Amino acid sequence: MYALPYLVLQRLRQAAINARRKNRSWRYLAWSVLAGIANAAMFVLGTAFVVFLWSLALWWLAVPMIAILVVPVIADTLVRFVFVPGGHHRLAYYAALYSRPGTDPPAYALCVAAWAAAGGTAVAWVSAKREARRPLGDAEVAATAFLAAARGDDATARELLRSLPMLVEDHPAVRELAGEWLACDAAERAAWSELEGDAARARWPATPLTYLLEGVAARHTGAAAAPSAGELWARWALAPRHRATLALVIEALAVPRGTGVAPRPADAIGATDAAEQVASDPSPLPRAVAAHLAFEAGPVTAATLEHTVRAWDTALADATTRQWLARRALELDAPPGAVERAIHEVAGAVTDDLSRRAEAAQLGAPPGAAGPVGHGLTRRLRHGRLDALEAAFSRWADRRHDNTRHPAIDEWREFIALMTAYNAAVTAGGIELRRLAFPHAFSKGSNMAAWLWNKREEYALSHAISKWLLAEALVVGDSEAIELGHRNCALAIPTRLGRISS
Amino acid sequence: MKLADNPFFVLGVTTEASRIEVEREAQKLLGMLELGFADARTYATPLGPRERTAEMVRAAVAALRDPYRRLVAELWAHHAPAPKAEPPVPEPPAPARAGLRRALGWRP
């Protein structure tokens, strides 16, 4: 009599949560309310059944019924409001295991334990649980990210969580937690554009807290899909931590809908200030020196770099500069050839300075730079980056020959670091650098992917490498690499959620 | 060459200064530095004030004795904006909410 309605409600709740994960509109609110009602009804039904058994003196049956019918309904609430804040990683793990989060509950439980972990013992316990799970999947990466965040290493946590979409193993409950951490992190840094970008692309299934923060971000950035005041208050009512989020909602509502106070892009700031500073002097050399000073003092962006490079190339090629130098060389009794030597020396010093700062900011040489500074910068940035990339990919692939096995999570982190370096270099260096860098990356990456698949049985990791190489091959148009990439990516990937074909 | 280390700024002379004026200024600064005059310990550059030492003064005057090195130094100093006595005011950091992540239930 009790089991059937309970099972129906459980199905309804899960269906509502699954539907909610696919929506970011008013339907999200509707599905959330439905899931909440189903949850409350399950709790009432389970509790009533337990009380009924108890009243019949069947306490020996009532106790297991509490575990089967009541605990799963309140497990998530206990995790969020009791076990995680209290740092009870073991209780959090087992409560999450009991909360029926879908296929492969230990994956979600591992992440929740990492979320609750505080102190060395807890970290060691969670790490041991993670190492016991093979092959690597999204839960292991997310758990590592949460452990990194707990020790204050936010950059690593961000990098690891942002890498999750590359893994085919997709636990929705794990992705929800990842999205929530990234949303809270972005809100703390007031990085509203970043959060709004994630929301617009629906990168993560949203928890009620994530959905609220995305609404706040949309109001701040003036996004077209920004929620109305009523909708934002509804999101606030659904989300946990009302006291902490109230100020965020009030602040977001102070921004008129659709207007947004988006920060001035850094590029625009630097370029405008530099331009204003040099506009007062019409001759090219003072303009170049002023642009250089503005570049040193302000934010290093592609626009400020391009402005400075062009100013120097114009100044050093200008006839008035040469005339001035020639006159002064004569007056100072400088040796013959001093003018050309001085121009060469200044161009070298400027190139050194600009390349150092461009390198630190991961910028490339401006496109179409034609003068001595532009050419020098292009050459220096390209060669330096290419050498560094090739050395890094070679070191990575050498481990295959030595059969040096790192834990799967470290293999993943190494790949992510290499991919980040590659992306930074090719973004800065453009398609030419990409075409130069790809063959080496492809050769080493393919070998590593094969090794990880055949010898290490790290299928998801290997597939992520192959997929990235295929995407790069398509960009540079390498037909041989495209063919091999398609063959590798067509393999079905064994995961804990079944075999996945991408 | 770093603009802040330009010999003309280190010595506090214009690019029109003659060789005798440069030598005289260097001697005066070396004397003031030896006696510990506070005014001599800093010099103004377009990037804001910098610390001056006796070694820098000697290096600057040596650079300006060489016609070629003076030519390069002039190219920078002659065309640079006027030196600033005060350091540039840094822009205020973007508003952030320290501790919000913890308040929302995440560590640290």
CB A500 within 8 A of CB A168: yes
Contact B3 A293 (CB under 8 A): yes
Average pLDDT, chain A: 88
Say which of B46, B71, B98 has its CB closest to residue A338: B71
CB B16 within 8 A of CB B9: no
Number of neighbouring beta carbons within 10 Å of residue A124: 11
What residues form DSSP beta bridges with A498?
A495
ipTM reported for the complex surpasses 0.90:
no
Q: Spell out which residues of chain B touch residue A240, defining contact as CB-CB under 8 Å.
A: 105
C-alpha A110 chain-centroid distance: 21
Contact A341 B68 (CB under 8 A): yes
Is any Cβ of chain A less than 8 angstroms from the Cβ of B92? no
Q: What is the pLDDT of residue A383?
A: 78
Contact A289 B80 (CB under 8 A): yes
Distance, first Cα to last Cα, chain B: 45
Is any Cβ of chain A less than 8 angstroms from the Cβ of B103? yes
**Single-letter residue type at A109:** A
Q: What is the pLDDT of residue A267?
A: 41
Instruction: Tell me which H or E stretch contains B33.
Output: helix B19-35
CA distances from A142 to A88, A127, A184, A201, A428 (A): 19, 12, 15, 20, 29
Intervals of chain A under pLDDT 50: 262-279
Q: What is the pLDDT of residue A74?
A: 92
Reported as a single tens digit per residue, the pLDDT across B36-72 is 888 889 999 888 889 999 999 999 999 999 999 999 9
Tell me the nearest-neighbour CA distance from B66 into chain A, angstroms: 8
Greatest CA separation for chain A: 114
Residue B1 — pLDDT band, cuts 50, 70, 90? low
**Single-letter residue type at A413:** R
**Single-letter residue type at A90:** R
For chain B, the structural domain boundaries read 3-79
Number of neighbouring beta carbons within 10 Å of residue B103: 16
User: For residue B18, what are its two tokens?
Assistant: 């003659």
The answer for residues whose C-beta is within 8 angstroms of residue B91's C-beta and 6 or more apart is: none
User: For residue A36, what are its two tokens?
Assistant: 């909440």
The CA distance from A346 to B76, in Å, is 9
- Fold for domain B3-79? Helix Hairpins (1.10.287)
Q: What is the pLDDT of residue A270?
A: 42
The CA distance from A449 to B22, in Å, is 67
Q: What is the pLDDT of residue B74?
A: 92
CB B75 within 8 A of CB A325: yes
Number of neighbouring beta carbons within 10 Å of residue A259: 10
The DSSP-derived string for A270-295 is HHHHHHHHHHT--SHHHHHHHHHHHH
Q: Spell out which residues of chain A touch residue B74, defining contact as CB-CB under 8 Å.
A: 328
Contact B3 A277 (CB under 8 A): no
Q: What is the pLDDT of residue A430?
A: 75
CA distances from B40 to A348, B27, B55 (A): 32, 12, 13
Q: What is the pLDDT of residue A224?
A: 84
Q: Which of residues 172-201 of A touch B (CB under 8 A)?
A: 180-181, 184-185, 187-190
Q: What is the pLDDT of residue A256?
A: 79
CA distances from A476 to A169, A206, A435 (A): 28, 35, 6
Torsion angles phi and psi, residue A56, rounded to 5:
-95, 10
Q: Spell out which residues of chain B touch residue A338, defining contact as CB-CB under 8 Å.
A: 67-68, 71
C-alpha B65 chain-centroid distance: 20
CB A73 within 8 A of CB A88: no
